[in-house]
Structure 1
Amino acid sequence: MDTLVSKYANAASAASFDTADNLGENLAGWDAANEFALPAFDIPMVSNPVDFLRAHTDASAENRIRIQHGTTTLSFKFQGGIIVAVDSRASGGSYIASQTVKKVIEINPYLLGTMAGGAADCQYWERELGRRCRLYELRNKERISVAAASKILSNMVYDYKGMGLSMGTMITGWDKTGPQLFYVDSDGTRMRGERFSVGSGSTFAYGVLDTGYDYNLSVPDAIELGRRAIYHATHRDAYSGGSINVFHVKESGWEFIGNYDVGQLHWDYQAQPKGPIS
């Protein structure tokens, strides 16, 4: 990181940057034809390039850009299938980029993937997974299994291990063997499990999920458990928030249950009587 700072930032270059006051004046007289149609680039309005590079570059030589992210996603199996619940906030450090991000990617009518980590990495690789799953179906005349789909994703990202990918996803679905749930990350790690929570708020979600989890939960109770776990994570984790999207994976395919605003859920839960911890 210090090497990048010394290479690309110095006091002289900082002094030569246009200020917000004179930037418009300098650009007003610019003519593409007279300037040989050279491309123009917007320069970030930063007062100190040294501090800017130090804040946005990584100390690791392999990862030139420090990726800041936060989210909360969870999935768990129960007698009625699989519940998938996610928040919808996209953040980069203290900056909230969006409150309406769709963090569940529909790979096909029977397969879902969740997003945690870098949004671009998750969206690209899970869409690529969807393409390969479709090719498998066309070639073999049958649906791909959840295990095979998760293995394909794991193999793809493993080829880029150590190159700065940031991805922690859960692949869920229903195949010939029943409901299946796998965790896959950008290092190529692949694990089968009964319940997972991924993201900066996962520790808070696990506290609620582990307390209320029972394999024999009814469908309404399972939906409420997933929704409540994500709500508590958004309440305690500054990098999670927005609204909660809940999906139910069953034998006939996945079903979107609903979108719930965490602000409204806060007051709904606060109004409920508090009972003793059993």
Structure 2
Amino acid sequence: MSQPLRFALNRMVAPRLSLPEFINLAVSLKADAIEIRNDLKGVEIEDGTPPQEVRELCAAQGIKVLSINALYPFDVWNDQRREQVLKLAAYARDCGAEGLVMCPLNDPADPRSEAERSAGLRTALTQLAPILREHRLLGFIEPLGFEECALRRKRVAVDAIRAIGGLDVFRLVHDTFHHHLASEHEFFPELTGLVHISGVEDAQAPLNSIRDGHRVLVGEADILGNAAQIDTLLSSGYRGYLSFEPFADSVHGLADIRQAIGASIAHLRQALA
């Protein structure tokens, strides 16, 4: 693959570092973009770090903020969701983020029919679009491949985006883990705004038993086909970032996370050369 690979770091790759340490990690790996999260205790955003501080720390090192991860569950619209998105959108705007990652309801107890889920998705997108436009943000929709998820496949999201006239403000997150779990075969490079990458190496685990805790850095033993997925996206026009998002405690506890991420970058560059 002749296209250069553009790497970014999701906060989940090193949740125990301070924000300055995390930014320095990105700089040391020549990754010029990060994603911050609102679901990690003890670090920004949960620790009360002002958005201006995030902006200033990143600007000083030439780092861009791709997203805040995440608005959840974005597809269940109510007064609580409106309040939540207004707060996140203001923070994203003030810290210089390009957009909000938006994740759908993932709950086996969700009582809604497919028709009700579809209607809820379109209602939510219709309500979210003007808020995102007002704050000059993109909404990065991330289908989750788990069987119980209300929005598993990107095709459903694309149809809803088009139906509500949201092509200017909504983009897809192609998550290599969730793409594999959903047994999805369609790619939408022209609507993809962000790619999340992680690997799974447990070849014996049934597909429907794989969870976030299995997600490690991408290496030789990966069973998700990360390299093939990335190759397809790049070959068909995607030019954005590949953001590392491993959830496994084994990754978070590594003594040298910089070396481990560097090895994963080297592996992907070789696999896609």
Whether TM exceeds 0.5 here: the answer is no
TM-score, normalised on structure 2?
0.31
Q: Give the structure with the higher percent helix.
A: 2
TM-score, normalised on structure 1?
0.31
Q: Give the greater-gyration-radius structure (CA).
A: 1
Q: Give the structure with the higher percent strand.
A: 1
